[in-house]
């Protein structure tokens, strides 16, 4: 079991290590375009719109890269296309980066099993470059589109209806719900339901964005702070991603926390959800109003009650940082590497 868990972690780390440059490059460029724009939103005209488009490309491609290299780690080159295409489709049907991870493992397992089928000698040369990728892509894509897509769409509709029904409860419970949903999958389907719920009512109920604007930026800022508080608990890639995450969080790009969640979901996801809940409740209770359908520090010029807004960001981010560092006892990557080396030495000794 320990060996199997190490293999799962290895495949996941292969995907995230290739994904991080796309998030960092795309996220930072998109952040710069938003910072230089006259309003806290993605620019739509001029050279800044082009810069935003370049950044969006990186933020769009990272999920296919994540799924593709997870599958590559499992099944070698024949798994790359099925994993990338499956992850792209998972994102298209609204499953977000978690769906991308699922699609990557699904494609890798499918292709790995397909490679066990003995091919005639005349077809062996076509296996790796044609037959396995073709069959793997069809099976993975079919499962994502025809089996996963419909339940996700139904879930999103039900969540939206549930939030509308919950709009009359107290600010603290509603803040906890919206904060947790916003932080949970960082730009994924659950995040989108919560943020759209607040964004579509920014003109009539602007205090909703007062809290959600904080919850949007808490995960990346919190994880960035965590790498600064306990650098020995993170690898080199994560520490570099942490610096970019703080910048992305300041301009309202939640995806900056995804590399950490993908590397270590069991510790990171509860931590960012806790931070999102705390960060959302504080401005709700302090009567903060945000007139922009955006989050992060960049919206401060249109925020009423900026002290409560900043306080929510600080408390929420520190909550995330302290919890995740409490849960992380050591650098997980180093632990895996050492275990793998010990396993290899045992085989040699045998």
Is pLDDT of 118 > 90? no
Q: What global pTM score does this model have?
A: 0.86
CA 97 to the chain's CA centroid: 5
Q: Whole-number mean pLDDT of the chain?
A: 90
Q: Residue 95 contacts by C-beta under 8 Å, 6 or more apart in sequence? A: 102, 103, 144, 148, 152, 188, 189
218-257 in b/e form (b: 16+ CB < 10 A) is bbbbbbbbbbeebeebbbebbebbbebbbbbbbbbbbbbb
Retrieve residue 223's tokens: 């994880």
When pLDDT is averaged across residues 173-193 and rounded to a whole number, the result is: 93
pLDDT given for residue 333 in this prediction: 55
Q: Where are the domains of the chain?
A: 1-156, 167-350
Is pLDDT of 336 > 50? no
- pLDDT more than 90, % of the chain: 75
d(CA 80, CA 89): 14
């Amino acid at each position: 079991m320990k060996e199997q868990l190490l293999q799962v972690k290895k495949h996941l780390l292969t995907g995230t290590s290739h994904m991080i440059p796309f998030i960092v490059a795309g996220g930072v460029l998109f952040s710069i375009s938003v910072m230089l724009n006259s309003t806290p939103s993605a620019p739509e005209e001029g050279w800044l719109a082009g810069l935003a488009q370049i950044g969006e490309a990186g933020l769009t491609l990272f999920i296919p890269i994540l799924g593709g290299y997870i599958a590559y780690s499992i099944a070698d080159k024949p798994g790359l296309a099925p994993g990338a295409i499956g992850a792209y489709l998972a994102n298209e049907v609204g499953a977000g980066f978690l769906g991308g991870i699922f699609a990557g493992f699904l494609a890798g397992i499918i292709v790995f099993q397909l490679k066990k089928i003995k091919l005639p000698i005349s077809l062996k040369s076509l296996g790796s470059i044609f037959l396995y990728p073709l069959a793997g892509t069809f099976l993975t894509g079919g499962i994502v589109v025809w089996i996963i897509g419909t339940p996700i769409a139904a879930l999103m509709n039900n969540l939206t209806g549930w939030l509308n029904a919950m709009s009359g409860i107290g600010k603290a419970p509603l803040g906890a719900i919206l904060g947790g949903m916003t932080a949970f999958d960082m730009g994924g389907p659950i995040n989108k339901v919560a943020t759209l719920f607040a964004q579509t009512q920014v003109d009539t109920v602007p205090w909703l964005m007062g809290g959600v604007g904080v919850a949007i930026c808490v995960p990346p800022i919190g994880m960035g702070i965590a790498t600064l508080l306990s650098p020995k608990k993170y690898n080199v890639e994560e520490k570099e991603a942490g610096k970019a995450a703080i910048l992305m969080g300041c301009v309202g790009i939640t995806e900056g926390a995804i590399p950490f969640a993908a590397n270590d979901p069991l510790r990171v996801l509860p931590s960012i959800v806790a931070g999102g809940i705390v960060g959302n409740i504080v401005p709700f209770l302090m009567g903060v109003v945000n007139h922009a359908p955006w989050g992060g520090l960049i919206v401060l010029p249109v925020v009423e009650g900026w002290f409560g807004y900043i306080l929510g960001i600080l408390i929420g981010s520190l909550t995330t940082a302290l919890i995740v560092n409490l849960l992380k006892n050591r650098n997980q990557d180093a632990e895996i590497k050492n275990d793998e080396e010990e396993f290899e030495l045992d085989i040699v000794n045998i």
